[in-house]
Amino acid sequence: MNCKVKYLWLAFVLAFATKAAADEGMWMLNKIDPKTAEAMQSLGCKLSPLDLYNPNGESLKDAVVDFGDFCSGVVVSPNGLVFTNHHCGYGAIQSLSTPEDDILKNGFVAQSYEEERPVPGLFVRFLLRTEECSSRVMMALDSIYRANPTVPAREIDRDKLDSICNAVEKEYQLAHPDLDCQLKSYYGGNAYYISFYKVYEDVRLVFTATESLGKFGGDTDNWMWPRQTCDFSVFRIYASRDGEPAPYSKENVPLRPKRYAKVSLDGYEAGDFCMTVGYPGSTSRYLSSWGIRERVEDRNISVIQVRGKKQDVWKRWMQADRNIALKYASKWAGSSNYWKNSIGMNKAIANLGVIGQKQQTEQQIKSWYEGREDLKRRFENVFPQLEKAYAERREAVHASGFFNETFVRGIEVARVAQKLNRLPQDADSSQIAATRQSLEKFFKDYEPRVDEETMAVLLQNYREQVTSAKYQPACYQTIDSLFGGDCRAYAADLFKRTICKDISCLDALLADSTLRDSDPALLYEQGIPDMSMQIGGSMREQNNVIGQGERLLTQALLEMDQEMPHYSDANFSMRLSYGFIQDYTAGGTHFDFYTAAPSLLAKAERQNEVEDYRLEADIVELMKRGQWGRYADKRTGQMHLCFISNNDITGGNSGSPMFNGRGELIGLAFDGNWEAMSGDISFDNSLQRCIGVDIRFVLFLIEHWGKSDRLIREILNQR
Cβ neighbors of 205 (< 8 A, separation 6 or more) are 89, 92, 93, 96, 108, 110, 116, 117, 119, 233, 234, 235
Parallel/antiparallel/unpaired status of strands 108-109 and 202-208: antiparallel
Query: DSSP label at 657?
Result: E
Among residues 654, 678, 682, 708, the one annotated as catalytic is 654
Q: Reduce the DSSP state of residue 40 to 3 states and report it.
A: helix
97 classed as catalytic: no
**CA gap 562, 556 in Å, rounded:** 10
With 0-12 / 13-18 / 19 or more C-beta atoms within 10 angstroms meaning exposed / middle / buried, residue 481 is: exposed
Given the residues 86, 87, 398, 640, the one annotated as active site: 87
Q: Is 176 labeled as catalytic in the residue annotation?
A: no
What is residue 368's three-state secondary structure?
helix
Give the Cα separation of 706 and 351 in Å (integer).
44
* Cβ–Cβ under 8 Å, residues 348 and 676: yes
Q: Are the beta carbons of 550 and 188 closer than 8 angstroms?
A: yes
Distance between CA 86 and CA 671 in Å, rounded?
12
Instruction: With H, G, I as helix, E, B as strand and everything else as coil, classify residue 427.
Output: coil
* 87: annotated active-site residue: yes
Q: Which of 23, 231, 298, 633 is catalytic?
A: 231
Omega within 30 of 0 (cis) for the link into 226 = yes
Q: CA torsion sign, 595 to 599 to 601 to 604? A: negative
- Residue from 188, 193, 197 nearest 132 by CA: 193
Residue 276 CA: distances (Å) to CA of 61, 658, 685: 11, 5, 16
Compute CA distances 291 → 157, 551, 560, whole Å: 18, 12, 20
Biggest CA–CA distance in the chain, Å, is 77
CA-derived radius of gyration, the chain:
26
How remote is the C-alpha of 703 from its chain's centroid?
A: 30
Scanning 380-428, the segments in alpha helix (DSSP H) are: 382-392, 394-403, 413-421
| β-pair partners for 199 | 125
What amino acid positions are annotated as catalytic residues? 87, 231, 654
